[in-house]
Chain A
Amino acid sequence: MTKNSVRRSARLLGAGLRALLVLTLVCGVLYPLTVTGVAQALFPGRADGSKTGDAEGRVVGSALIGQRYDLPGKAGEEPRPDLRWFQPRPSRGLGASTVNTRYELLLSGATNRSGDNPELLAWVKAARAAVVRENSTATYRVRPADVPPDAVTSSGSGLDPHISPAYAALQVHRVAARNGLTVREVERLVARHTEGRTLGFVGEPRVHVLGLNTALRDLARN
C-alpha cells in the first residue's frame, strides 16, 4: 500500500468510528432511555413484568411467566407434581445458569427435539400415561385419546403460562377431589380464567394456570 492509501484508510476508519459513537449515543442511550421513561410513566406495571398477587396481596409471580407446581422434594430428585393444583405443560427445555452460578436464573428454552427423535417419543408416551393416571379419579376416567398435545409437549420458552381448555377440563375432577370442592365450583373457576381468541381469530383459546391456581387457593382457604 502506498502512503496515500494508508492515510485515506485511516481517515475513513476515523469517520466510521465517529459515526458509530454518535449513533451509539442516539440509538443506545437516548432511544432506550426515552422509551423506558415513557413506558414507566404510561404502563408501570407492565414495563416491570406484570407482577400479580393473591387475595391477601402477596406477590405470586408474573402473569406472563409460567411456573412449576411441584411437591417440595430433595435436591437432585426428579420433582413430583403437586396434584392439588392445575399442572402446566412440561418444560424439558428449561435450563439453569451454568456460566454465572452465583445467580439462580431460569434459562428459557426448548428441547429442540425432532418428530422422529426417540427420546421425545419416549417423553411424550410417558407424559401421556402420567396424565391419564394422575387425572383419573374414583368417579372419572381419563381416556388416552382425550389427552391434548399441549399436555405432553414442552413449549418454546419452557415458561408457557397457559394450557389448552381441553387440558384444564381434564384436570378439573382431580383438582376438585384434592381440594374438597365440587366439580361445578372448579369448572366455574376454569371458565373465569379461560381466554378466547383476541378479536375472535388471533391466537388460540387458553387457560391461565397461575391465575387459576391462585383463585383456587383463595377459594379453598375460605
Chain B
Amino acid sequence: MNNFLEIKNLSIAFPGNHLVNTLSNFNLKLDKNGSLGIVGESGSGKTLSMLALTRLLPKQAIVSSGSIDFLNHNLSEIDNLNFYKNFSGNKISMIFQEPMTALNPVYTIGRQLMHTYMYHNKVGKKEAHHKSLEMLSAVKLSDNLERMKQYPHQLSGGQRQRVMIAMALINNPSLLIADEPTTALDVTVQKEIINLIQELKEKFGMALIFISHDLGVVSQVSKNIIVMKRGEIIETGKTYNVLNKPKKLYTKTLISCLKNLNTKRKKNKFKKNDKIIEVTNLSKFYKLPSKLFSTKKIINAVNDINFSVYEGETLSIIGESGSGKSTVAKMLNGLLAPDRGEILICNKDINKLDTKERAEIIQPVFQDPYSTLNPNHTIGYIIARPLILNKPFLPDEIRNLVLKTLDLVGLDKGFYYRFPNQLSGGQRQRVAIARAIILEPKILICDEPTSSLDVTIQEQILQLLKDLKQKLGITIILISHDISVVKYLSERVLVMLDGKIVESGDTISTLQNPKKEYTKKLMSAVYEI
C-alpha cells in the first residue's frame, strides 16, 4: 500500500448477449511524480481504465473485479459523495480529447475556472479570480484579464486546450490524466501543448498518465509505457526498453508500422511525363454573412495558387487545418467552383466538363470513413453505382466488375450484401477506394484518407494506395497534415499556409532541408521514435 497509485486486476464488462470483459486484468503502478503512457488502438480499453479510476464509467458498465489504491485509500470503499468531493477534480484531474466540447459554451472562461476552484475550496470570488488569472498565465495564455471575459468559441483549439489544462490544474491535483489531449489539434500546436504539459508536471510536481494512440507522442512524454490491445495489457515496462526491445508480436508490428512510415526512402527518380493537371491563379473566397452594422467579411480560403501535376506521380499537399488544402481538393474535383483562375485537367477546364465525363477522369476519397458511405445501400450497390450511372453494362457484367474491384482492394466477396454499419473503419475506407477506382479514373484525390484510422490500419490503406498506383498507373493527389504519410507515399510535395503555397518541390529534399520558416516549424513538430 505504499504506492501512490496502484490498480490491481481491474476488469470491466458491458452487459450484452453474454458478458464479455471489455477490459480484463488491468494492472498499473505509478509513483508520486511518475509518468506513464498508455498506448493502444481505438477500442483497446485505454480510456475505459482511466474512466474507472475517475468514476466516469458509462452507467451500464459493470466493474467485475479489481481494486484501486490511491494515496493509501482503497477507492472501492469510498462512497460516491466523498469521492466527488475529495478526489475527483481535487486530487485527480482529467483533460479530455475534444477541447471543442469539453468547455461549456454559454459561460465565460473566467466563470468556469472560478467555479472549479470555488467548488473545492472555501474561498471568495476575489481570491478565485486571482487564482484563475495565475493559472491562465501558468498555461501561457497572453492577455489573461481579457481571456477571463471571453467565451469558449472566441478561442482557438490550442487555446481552449490550454484553458482545459488550467482548469484541470487549478486545484493542484496530485495526478493528472491526459486522454489524447492533442489528437484534435494541429501538429505545431500539438508540440506546444505537449511541452506545456511536461513543463507543468515538473512545476506542480504531479504524476501524469498520458493516453494516446500515437506511440511517438507517448514515448516523448512518459518514462513508463503500457501497450494495450482489445482490453488486455500486451506489454509494459520502461519506455526505452519497450520501444527498442519489444517482446510481444503486437508491439513489434506497431513499432514497425511507425518505422515503415518513417523510413527514409531513396529519392524517387521520376520522369516528368505530360502535365495532367494545370492550375493557374486559383482563388476561392468565402463571404461571411454580414451582420447589422458590420461590413461583409471575406475570407481568402485559397489565394492565387499555381501548380501542375504530372501523369503517374503522387503529389502531396500538406498544411494545418484552415490552410485551404481541402478547398483545393474540392475545386480540383469540380465539387466547388473557383472564384478566380482555372483548373485544366487533360487540357480541359474542369468546370466545363460534363459531370459524367468528369467522373471518368477524377475521383475523390474522403476523410471520414463513417460518412463516406450511404448507410442505406449495400456495399455491392455502393461500388456498382458509378458503373450504373455511367456505363451501359448489363447487371451481370457490373456484378463481376464489382467483385473484381472488391478483390483488388482486399475485400472478400462476402461483403457484397453487407451494409456499411457492419464494417470497420479500415474496411469502409477500402470500399470508398473501390468506388473511386471502379471507373478507372486517371486521377485520385485522397483527402486525409487515413487520419481517422488506427496506425496498423493506416499502414494497410497506404500500402493499398501504393499497390493500386503501381497496378493501375493512377495519378494520386494526397491531402494530409501527417508528415509520415506524405513521406511514405508521395514524390512531390506542396506546403500550404493560409491559402498560399509556401514551399514546393521533391518530397525528400523539401522535408529534410526545409527552406521556409513554416516548413521548418512543421518538421520540428514531428515525433519520431
A and B from one complex: no
Q: Could you list which residues of chain A lie within 8 angstroms of chain B, going by C-beta atoms?
A: none
Q: Which residues of B contact A (CB under 8 A)?
A: none
